[in-house]
Structure 1
């Protein structure tokens, strides 16, 4: 059966998937199923071809057969992971190779599918893995862009309101003035404080976070600003 590849440009929005399996029927079945859902699908008939395709382009997901004649799928998984620790790899296993699949999960596989698989469940898991990977990539790009613009590598923000906050942080960070940050619990006040500290003249000094909610009111002021020895004695 001749190899099949989706025409360039189709399925790009949903993701690009590489199927590596030595059985033509399995490759054809996965091609029909995944391309029918709008994915861009490339096929490889053996491990060597699969690794070659991975060198040539970036994939959102790799579906890798565990048992292949030219190289063991576990060995291929480890080689993929040595080159790329981010792209999700799902193993395709035959009945009786479940222990291998479990070993694969420990070696860095994201999931495994047992032949014969349930098409609906496979599609759900494929969508989940690709969505997770794309979100991770998006976060990396956002962090990179924010680091270039503000020097804040640990903050991810997209909204105009939050970008205005970061503009303000960049303005006040060089100042030696005391800065008050307010906001609801969980809104990132400590992240903002760390960003200010990291970009301030005091960046080479220690940053100390204090949980003021755990301190009684009479000790909060002395904890933050100090006190005269003996001032709390009777």
Structure 2
């Protein structure tokens, strides 16, 4: 079990390295359309009747996200003003979440509902489990495992949400002519690399859960 945990952790680190390397490669290549990430997001939103959704810049690298409460697509500094293939792909992906929100995409709603308990599980469950072990309180350990299980469920539900957002992004980029044939390989590389990070995160969460169950509830090594 420990070997599985270590291998999964190593795989996660490699995937993050791959994402950053892929992003850096295509961040240097300008998209044929000449549109920036912000302009790409705005074009897709307007084409889908989502003029009320704002597009804003946010500090940091790869901090791009869609805020369903505020109805805002936020793009990182490196993508907001950049006309690169990477910026266009990332912007389209985040707008994909706005399209999901507008269509009441069920997995997105499930993920949003899981956020509070998943946050508690990710932040406090390990400490609850450790406290339960130290106190010899099996019930406390079980509570910790259940809470962490909610965090794992959140990661698993995230997978279809992210894959669907990327699929919507590809469709919009091609339908609206924002990417040409020459751009598509790069855009696909960025979207696929980003998707791998969510797969790695889900695998790591499952490995953590199995490790906790094995180590603290009488499983094998």
- Greater RCO structure (CA 8 Å; 6+ sep): 2
More helix by share: 2
More strand by share: 1
TM-score by length of 1: 0.26
Q: Computing the radius of gyration over CA atoms, which structure comes out larger, 1 or 2? A: 1
TM-score by length of 2: 0.27
